[in-house]
Amino acid sequence: MVTANTDFAGNSLPKGKKLLADRYGRRIRSLAIPRALLWPALVVAIILTQIPFLATVYFSTQKWNLLRPLDRGFVGFDNFIAVFTTDELYESIQATATITGTSVLLSLVLGLGIALLLDRNFVGRSVARTLLITPFLLMPAAASLAWKWNLLDGNFGLFRWLFMELGLPVVQWNTDIPIVTVIMVLTWQFMPFMMLILLAGLQSQDKEILDAARVDGAGSLRIFIQMTLPHLRQYIEIGVLLGAILLLAAFDPIAILTGGSGGTKTLPVLLYEKAFIALEVGQAAAYGVVTVAITIVFAALLLRTVFRIFSEKGVR
Amino acid sequence: MSLIRTQAKIPRRRKKLRLGQVALTAFTWLVVILMVFPVAFMVLTAFKTETAAASFPPQWLSPITLENFEKVFDRGFWPFLVNSVIASVGSTILVMILAIPAAYALTIRPIFKWRDALFFLISTRFMPFAAVIIPLYLLVARLGLLDNIWVIMVLYIGMNLPIAIWMMRSFLEEVPREIIEAAQLDGAGIFKEITRVVMPIVAPGAAAAALIVFIFAWNEYFLVFNLTADSARTLPPFLGSFIDARGQFLATLSAAATLAVSPVVIAGWVAQKRLVRGLSMGALK
């Protein structure tokens, strides 16, 4: 990805000379040692992420189909024009926005509900918390396979039996309502993480202030809306952004559940198809560049949020 | 008069409150059971016979069998497990070796433009690998390294290094300054300062960071799926091979999935208190 030369937090960067001191304000004689400690990691990160990205940018200007290896050449922005003039990109962005947006929103609402349930003393609270995070820890491929075959299968799936018992119409989940299926599984997997973040937020509230408000006669709902929600804001922001970034890149659940059919062809699935099924190197690369550009927006927002939290807490 | 009324009111209110609390607890446990049910059902299916697993309506009390796990190992589970271990354990160790000094340089001995370095490092984590898969594939193919587990391991280093540096940085921030100053006054060199003074303090944090990095590597699917064919496959894409269009496979698939998820689920349960902090890149405690 691109180098972040600017400070996302909007703080003015200190001048170089001032930084010739350590965090306690003492002057450092030499920067050689800290630099030597940092360089190996930086070099590895640059080689492993920047070289493929630069190659992607280069390939995006090339006419190159793997089926016609000799017919290669520089075509400028032709691949991007092709990308932006067909409907595939917009359909895929729409699918990505629908699936990522709904899953993150549902995770947020349900995760908040569960976090509120866990933010009180009850029998087996830590066991409940441990069990609740399990879906998040599950390998996405395994979770998707278990959902697809054990629960949602149209012939012997458990949900078919459940729906029949309840007198509901039987649906073929992954073909009749593919978007619902994908959102359901993604939400189920990501909600525990949202719950953990929001629970951390709830537990960091000053209980004395809440008690004082209660003594002053404020109702539970009013305390929640006027005090708890504003306090949770930064936790919600971080959860939403991390969710957006994690779910934006989700490939295996969609590939396994629907194979990208029925409006679930998100950007990673589209990129995969362009690269390995259409074998269009140039176009796949152009799609890749566009995808990276979209993720940068989310990444920049996340970093801004994270760094605001750091500065609010008095940490750099 | 009013005093009596208040006294009479209190017990009734308490009883009501207790009843409400019990109802809330019951509701909470209902939610927990619903959330865990898909996992529990998968594990349950793993211990059924194939016929019982595929029966409709579902059999809840069928005899327990271990034959599915035997079948999983017969179908060549070991090599895939070994690949998963090489890629995730190997990359985790190397990530930590690179990340701890880098985080140390960024926090305790900050260098010029440390913030730029940090932003660069973390921004690399946000790039979806799908965006660069085609040049990555062509590069690896050109080098003749397709279907090679060591290539996968190296790529996992790139995937996890930023997150490890961020986590370690957040733990290193908390090392009290007096301790490091004392070590420096005693004439400890940088190596001793890290290994003898700083590391013992941040060891629990480092363990948590390593676990999270391990989890990401263990569960990774996309890169292995596209860059390996057979001999370097890890468990996530291998699971799909249990789907058999001709016969019953539910119980075997569930057994394989149960085996594949268990290391990470157990590790995650153990480290759950630090998961939040690690995954929020140290921003939340």
Q: Do B283 and A238 touch (CB under 8 A)?
A: yes
| Partner-chain contact B28 A122, CB within 8 Å | yes
Any CB–CB contact under 8 A between B137 and chain A? yes
A294 touches chain B (CB under 8 A): no
Q: Which residues of B touch A107 (CB under 8 A)?
A: none
Average pLDDT along chain A: 85
A51 contact residues in B (CB cutoff 8 A): 139
Residue B241 DSSP code? G
Fold classified for B74-279: MetI-like fold (1.10.3720)
Please list the helix, strand and coil fractions of chain B in percent, rounded to the nearest 5, in that order. Answer: 80, 0, 20
B57 in reach of chain A (CB within 8 A) = yes
Question: Cβ(B126)–Cβ(A51) under 8 Å?
Answer: no
The DSSP output letter for A22 is -
Name the phi and psi angles at A27, rounded to 5: -70, 140
Q: Is the pLDDT score of A196 beyond 70?
A: yes
Q: Judge whether A263 and A93 are in contact, CB under 8 Å.
A: no
- Please give the structure tokens belonging to residue B32: 């927990």
Instruction: For A2-58, write each residue's pLDDT tens digit.
Output: 333 334 443 444 444 344 555 555 555 566 777 888 889 989 988 888 889 999 999
* Residue A65 β-bridge partners: A68, A280
Nearest CA in chain B to A31: B111
Per-residue pLDDT reduced to its tens digit, A267-296? 999 999 999 998 989 999 999 999 998 888
Q: Is residue A20 one of the residues assigned to a domain?
A: no
User: How do residues B248-272 score in pLDDT, each as one tens digit?
Assistant: 899 999 999 999 999 999 988 888 8
Quickly tell me which residue has 């278990």 as its tokens. A146
Total residues found in chain A within this entry: 316
Q: How many helices (H) and strands (E) does chain A have?
A: 16, 2
> Would an 8 Å CB–CB cutoff place B51 in contact with chain A?
no
Query: Which of the four pLDDT bands, split at 50, 70 and 90, describes residue A93?
Result: very high
Residue A51: inside a domain: no
- d(CA A276, CA A274) in angstroms, rounded, equals 6
Would you say residue A42 lies in a domain?
A: no
Q: What is the pLDDT of residue A99?
A: 96
Over residues A121-172, the pLDDT tens digits come to: 888 899 999 999 999 999 999 999 999 999 999 888 899 999 999 999 888 9
Residue A68, in any domain of the structure: no
Examine residue A215 and state whether it is found in any structural domain, yes or no.
Answer: yes
In eight-state DSSP terms, residue B40 is: H
Q: What would the pLDDT profile of A212-258 be if each residue is shown by its tens digit?
A: 998 988 888 999 999 999 989 888 988 888 888 889 889 999 999 99
The pLDDT assigned to A7 comes to 40
pLDDT value at residue B221: 96
Amino acid at the residue A53: F
8 Å CB contact of B127 and A295 = yes
Residue in B closest to A301 by C-alpha: B123
Q: Chain B: nearest CA to A127, how far in angstroms? A: 10
A87-118 and A229-248 helices cross at what angle (nearest 10)? 140
Flag if B42 and A128 touch (Cβ within 8 Å): no
Provide CB contacts within 8 A for B193, sequence distance 6+.
B180, B183, B184
CA distance A43 to B282: 23
Q: A291 vs B130: CB contact, 8 Å cut-off?
A: yes
> Residue A139 and residue B264: Cβ atoms within 8 Å?
yes
Please, are residues B162 and A41 in contact by the beta-carbon 8 Å criterion? no
What tokens appear for A100 in the block? 């990522």
In a domain, A62, yes or no: no
Q: 3-state class of A29 per DSSP?
A: coil
Q: Are B110 and B172 in contact (CB under 8 A)?
A: no
- Quick count: other Cβ atoms within 10 Å of Cβ B271? 20
A167: domain CATH number is 1.10.3720.10
Give the ipTM of the model, two decimals please. 0.88
Q: Which residues contact A73 (CB under 8 A, 6 or more apart)?
A: A62, A63
SS3 helix, strand, coil % of chain A, rounded to 5? 70, 5, 25
**CA closest to B113 among chain A residues:** A16
CB contact under 8 A, B28 and A44: no
Q: Hey, is A242 helix, strand or coil?
A: helix
Question: CB A34 to CB B225 under 8 A?
Answer: no
Q: How many CB atoms lie within 10 A of CB A283?
A: 26
Specify the pLDDT at position A2. 38
CB interface of B with A, residues 175-204, below 8 Å: 177, 181, 190
Q: Are A275 and A284 in contact (CB under 8 A)?
A: yes
The number of folded domains in chain A is 1
Residue whose entry in the numeric block shows the structure tokens 């997997």: A189
Question: What pLDDT does A35 receive?
Answer: 80
- Chain A residues 164-203 with CB within 8 Å of chain B: 188, 191-193, 196-197, 200-201
Residue in the block written with tokens 């799926």: B225
Residue A286 located in a structural domain: yes
Are the beta carbons of A1 and B126 separated by less than 8 Å? Answer: yes
**Which 75-114 residues of chain A touch chain B by CB within 8 A?**
114
Residue type, B282: G
A117/B28 CB distance under 8 A: yes
Per-residue pLDDT of chain B (285 residues; tens, 9 = 90+): 444 454 545 555 566 678 888 999 999 999 999 999 999 999 999 999 998 888 888 888 888 999 999 999 999 999 999 999 999 999 999 999 999 999 888 887 766 667 777 777 777 777 788 899 998 999 999 999 999 999 999 999 999 998 888 888 888 888 887 888 788 788 777 788 888 888 888 888 898 889 889 999 999 999 999 999 989 999 999 999 999 877 789 999 999 999 999 999 998 888 887 777 777 666 666
Contact B235 A139 (CB under 8 A): yes
Q: Is the alpha carbon torsion for A256, A257, A262, A264 positive or negative? A: negative
Largest CA distance in chain B: 93
Distances (CA, A) of A198 to A222, A229, A233: 19, 10, 9
Residues A92, A70: Cα–Cα separation, whole Å: 30
Query: Hey, are the CB atoms on B21 and A299 less than 8 Å from each other?
Result: no
| Structural domain span for residue A226 | 82-312
In a domain, A24, yes or no: no
* From A150, A192, A248, residue closest to B128, measured CB to CB: A248
Strand-strand pairing, A62-65 and A68-74 = antiparallel
Beta carbons of B265 and A137 less than 8 angstroms apart: yes
Residue-by-residue DSSP string for A175-222: HHSHHHHHHHHHHHHHHHHHHHHHHHHHHTS-HHHHHHHHHTT--HHH
Which residue type sits at A181?
T
CB atoms within 10 A of CB A235: 24
Round to whole Å and give the CA distance between A118 and A187.
19
